[in-house]
Amino acid sequence: MRIINLGSLNIDYTYRVPHFVRPGETLESSDFTTRAGGKGLNQSIAIARAGCPISHAGIVGQGGKLLISELAKSGVDTSLIVESDLATGHAVIQVTDLGENSILIYGGTNRTLTLTYIREVLSGLNAGDTVVLQNEVNLVGEIISIASELGLRIAFNAAPMTPRVLDYPLEKLEWLMVNEIEGEAITGVRDPLAIVKALRSSYPDTIPVLTIGKHGALTSDHENIYRTAAYRVEAVDSTAAGDTFNGYFLSAVLKGFSLLNALTLGSAAAAICVTSPGAAVSIPVLETVEEFLSLYPATELKQEVIPL
């Protein structure tokens, strides 16, 4: 079984601030870092560190060798990444003293995928292999359709949420990963349980995965909704928490974990992630997550199985 992440590659410019900049305000930051990031890169690293072999496909431009190097250091296959003369995608991130973040992204080379390149990348997969996507690249709807025609399993993280997500063939997905904002935008409802039920109703063959920050996460099969609370930790930086959760959750289900156990593994990995600054650099390796779970087992979490 192969996994390819046809995903974003960003350079993250991160500023530590006392609060998010308000309209018309000039604010001094107390710290600044330049690191590898992007939802695609983060999720590839999370999947690799969770113990699943993965290849990353995408396009980088100026300064992009940093991103290729960061992926390779985590064991991600980078042979499918191509280089361009255009500007690499990047993000300007504000992180407050409370560990909250606000992110502004510029797509750059992430928005220059072509159908020729996409078909070339996917041609190396067999039916039953997995494609991972986020909404930071172009032609997402086309990628989903092509991958579905090839019999591939598709995991899509609908972030950042844009109106065009509603036009994608989401019914072709195996996993749809959203947070509360994205879930509400797709379903029109706000309550977490209602979001999961609405997604399951609209896309009955798709497994919804909903993260709700410090309140935990939910998922569902045809019979039940599974809900877990989040581990209580002192958050320093939540930038890559969702990507870490998604990568670990997906790795777990691909290894044959139950949905509830996959939620637990993803929640533990995300909890460790938020205790360190940065994006990719804060994603834990599997051994660290397993050690965390030995100290704080799932039995200490409030978990529910709710019949549909």
- Only one residue has tokens 């930086």, namely 237
Contacts of 166 (CB under 8 A, 6+ apart): 185, 186
For residue 221, give the 3-state DSSP assignment. Answer: coil
Distance, in Å, from the CA atom of 237 to the CA atom of 98, rounded to the nearest integer, reads 8
- Give catalytic status of residue 205 as yes or no: no
Angle at 179 between CA 15 and CA 278, to 5 degrees: 25
Nearest CA to 263 out of 306, 224, 296, 217 is that of: 217
Distance, in Å, from the CA atom of 289 to the CA atom of 266, rounded to the nearest integer, reads 9
Distance, in Å, from the CA atom of 52 to the CA atom of 1, rounded to the nearest integer, reads 10
Give the active site residue among 12, 77, 237, 243: 243
Rg (CA), the chain: 18
Q: Tokens in use for 113?
A: 């995928």
Distance, in Å, from the CA atom of 197 to the CA atom of 223, rounded to the nearest integer, reads 11
| Tally of CB atoms within 10 A around 194 | 14
Which residues does the annotation mark as catalytic?
243
